[in-house]
Structure 1
Amino acid sequence: MKEISFFRVSKIVACLLSFTPLIGCMTVPHPFEKQAGNKGGVLSNPPPARLIVPVPTESLLNDKESAVLAHDIAKAMLDQTVPAVVGKAQKGEWLLVTKVENQGDMVVPKLSIISPDGKVQATRDAMPVSTKDWASGNEAIYAQVAQQAAPIVNEVLTGLQARQMVSDPHSLKNRPAQIYFEGVKGAPGDGNTVIARQFVVSLNDKLNAIQQDKSKADYSVGCNVSVTNGAAGTRGNPVQHVEVVWRIVDKKGKEAGKVTQINDVPAHSLDVYWGDTGSAVGEEAAGGIKRVIDNYSGRNNRPLAENGGMTKAPLVTPPGLQN
C-alpha cells in the first residue's frame, strides 16, 4: 500500500503550485503534476503466487554455503515485494534457479526464472566474483550477489506480468479500468458535491471510466473529509485543519493505495461554499488515483521479450576483499 500526501512532498511526487479560492487566500499544492521517481512502479502483483528458490546444486560451493546463498536470494526477493521461499523444485511452481559458471578466474552466478510449465522464461547474470573470493566461504559475498541480482529478477517478473497482460484481452492493458465511486463524505457545506463532481469529470479518460455497478468494477474509490479546529494561525487568525483521505480498493477488497490531502484554511471559510478549493481537491485527487491504479495494476509496465533477453551485470569487487 502506498500513501501519497497532498501537502507533503512524497517519494513519488514533488511539485507545488497555487491558486486563489473564492473565499480568502490559501496555498493549495498540486503534487501530482509530475513524478519525481519510479518508486511507485515497484511490482505489486508478480506472475507467481510464490517463487520457489531451490538450494543450488551447481553453485561451486559446499552444501552449507549453497543453502546460505539460496536463503540470501529469497530474502533479497522478499525485499523486492516478491513472495519467495527456499524449497525443493516442484512441478507447477515458479522457480528461481541459480547456477554458477567458471569464466576464467571469475565465477558468474546465473539466475533462471522457470514457469510452472517447466520453461525457462529468462536468465540473468548476477555480479561476477573472483574464483578465489567465491571459494572463500565469506557469506557477505553471497548476500551482496543476492542483493544485486534481486532487482534484476524483479524487473523480469514485472516484464512477464506485462507480457501476460498484453495477451489477455480483459487486462487493463487492453481496456479502461472500471472504477466504482462511493462518493465523498464528511465535508461541510457543499463540499461533498463539489469535490465529487470535479473528481468524476477529472477521472474519466481513455484509461479510466466510472462504473455504476460495483460488482463489475476493478477498483472502488471512497473519500472521507474531516475539518477540525487548528491553531490560532498567523496574526491571531484562527484556522481549521482539513484532511481529505481517498482510499482505493481492488475487486478482492485489498487496499491498492491512498491519496491524502492536507491543508489549513481560515476558520469556517468552507462552512458553506467550497468553490475552487473543492474543484482543486477533486482534480488533484483524480490524478493521484490514476497513478495508484497505474502502479498497482502494472498496466504501464514494459512486456518482456519472448526470448527472455539476456543482460550482464558490471564487474564488482566485493567490499573488504580488494587486494
Structure 2
Amino acid sequence: VFFEVRKGFAILLGAIVLTACTVLPKPFEHTNQKERNSLAELIDGGAIRVEVDQNLPEFISKPLSLEAVKALVGANIPASADPNFYGKYVLKGFVIVERPNDFDPEKATFVWNLMFKGGSEIVLFKQTIQGDENGWLKSDPELFAIIAKDAAHQIAKHIQNSRSLTKLTMDSVEISGQRDNIRGLSPTFYLSDISGTPGDGNRAILSSLKFLLNRELGSTVSNKAEATYLVRGTANVSPPLKGRSDVAITWLVFSATGKELGKVTQNNNVAAGSLDARWGLVAFAVAKGALQGIRKIVSRNNDTQN
C-alpha cells in the first residue's frame, strides 16, 4: 500500500570530546539529497508555506502538517499551512508507506522538496523510517513531531545564514574502568526518568531519545530486567544571572549488573526561563547528543570484550 505526503524542520548540536573523533550519526537515513541553488547569500528567516498531501489519511496529514509548522516556527522560521499564507518558500513533501503484509510493520519514506514560491527547486531530500510494530504511523502520533524536527533541521541549513539557536552541546564522554560482558547481544536500553528538568523536558527528551535509540543503536524496553544497559539522566538549571541560566545534563550508563560504564555531559547557557514550559527543538538536540555519547560507551564496552 502506498501513500504520499510533504514537510519540514531545524536543530543543531555540538561535538564529541573523546579519545578519537568519528563521523556523527544522524537520526534518520537521508538519501538522494540534491541541491540546485545556493542560499548562502539569503538573509535569515524567509517564510515557508507548508503543503502536506491531502490525499493522505487524515491521521497522517493533520498531525504531519501541524508538527511541520511547529518545528519550523521553533527553528525561528515563519511558517504556516494556510493556503493563503504568503511565504518566500514552499515546502512540499510526500511519504511512501510500504506495507509488506497485514502483520509486519510499515516502512515509510518521507520526501521533502523545498522550492521558491515561483516553483524553482532548492533542495530535495528523503527520510527513511522502518517501523517497529504494525500500525505505528497511527498508534504513535508523537513520532511525527520527531520526524518534523529532523526535517526542519535540513531545511534550516538552506535558508539560514548565521542563526543563533538554543542548543545543548555534548561536552564530553567519559568511559569508566569497569566493563561487562554483553557480547553477541543486540543492545536493549531501559530509560529512567530525567530528574531536575523543568517544563516538559523529561517527557520530551525521553520520547526523542527512545525513538533515536530504537532507530540507531538497538531497542528500548519498559522492563528493567530485560535491559542490557540502564540509562539515567540528571539535569540542573542554575538560578538566573543577568537574564541567563546555565543548563547541565549528565547521563550515566550502567550495565544490567549495575556497573557504571560511562558518563555523558552536556552544557549550555540559555535565556532564563526559556525551558520552563516547552523544550521543543532543544529536547531533540539533547537526545541526539545523548545518543552519540551512549553509542561511544556501548562501542567501547563491546570492544574490550572482543
Asked if these proteins are the same fold (TM beyond 0.5), I'd say no
Structure possessing the higher radius of gyration over alpha carbons: 1
Could you state the TM-score of these two structures normalised by the residue count of structure 2? 0.44
Could you state the TM-score of these two structures normalised by the residue count of structure 1? 0.42
